[in-house]
A and B are shown apart, each in its own frame.
Chain A
Amino acid sequence: MALLQVNALSKSFGGLMAVSGISFTVPAGVIQAVIGPNGAGKSTLFNLISGIERPSGGRIVFDGHDLAGLKPNRRAALGLARTFQTPQIFDSMTVLENVLIGCHCQGKAGLFGALFHTASSRREDWSLREHSLVQLERVGLADKANSPAADLAFGQMKLLEMARALAQQPKLLLLDEFAAGLTHREAEHMAGIIRSVRAEGVTVLLVEHDMPLVMSLSDTVIVMNFGEKISEGVPEAIQNAARVIEVYLGSGI
């Protein structure tokens, strides 16, 4: 069964149809890419799936659950994690504490435990910290665990977002232009992490502009333009499809 099913999803802003009746599925365990020119609706699509925007029409089914009306934090609890095009880092905290936010759903200590620093809340915190350190080791930031997150370089911030998303132990990972702003080496490093994540059974849906990276990384590719899906298939097929070339390069070439 597909992990994610998107049925006739649309979103309009005023009169503008940012996403227009798009349908596709994401099977479990694959790395699937969404590509398309700027303004094609890719970011809106991600915002609809993660719950930041409410659709004007259509349905999203994730892991058998209809996501209609569910707030983003509930979707996170179901196993959905994402990163952002511009890294959303929590400036006032350390690197480790940023990752700990990813563990939020795994904790249970409430306000009482917080205010009175109960033994059970302390134990829980300890195990969450250990779990977070493991994620930092995975992305290679473990030595910076106690540094202020605001001091990180741009590439490191993207790694931090990845660690935070992985801390959620997600079933589906949404990556919004993970390579944007990264050097070639950093992007390759990130791609390696993504491959290892997939090897552990996490499904990945990513938006990306770097074509060679997309083609080498993904199992399937969806092409969007003007809010619609215009093509879908394995990377080699997409590279050659005439329509795709037309969309990116314009007709008449």
Chain B
Amino acid sequence: MKMTKIVRTTADLFFPFCLVFGLYVVVHGHLTPGGGFQGGAVMATGTALLLVARAYDDVTGRIRKGAMKVCEAAGLLIFLCAGFSGLFAGRPFMANWIARDGALFRTAIAHGPNAGDLNTAGLLPLLNFGVGIEVLGGLTVILLYMLSGIKEEKKK
């Protein structure tokens, strides 16, 4: 099923903005409302938009199911590795060990309202990123699987 040219062009135009906004929500998860789950869902919405506007075969050329599966598994692996990394630092599982004495994301912030700094929060940005690409991959794979049965009817 193919929509009109107007819908297709609008979907094409909005797709990159969806991805960028989702990535913004994921990356700023420790500063602003939102986080990995919400940002990943926003990014997957871009795929849904393309799938609604275009034929299934048009979309699979741009979004590969295999790559999305890799995204999903890699997201969970990042989460697990970040969780286990606390053990190597001599802290418990899932402990936020780089918030105080790591190399990255360690800027200390004052208590109370402040301007916010991306380079804070220790392990949280990493975990947010892992969950973000996992949700992106998972929801996209579900969408592609469920809509793969829709085929355009051939005209006789």
**Does A associate with B in a complex?**
no
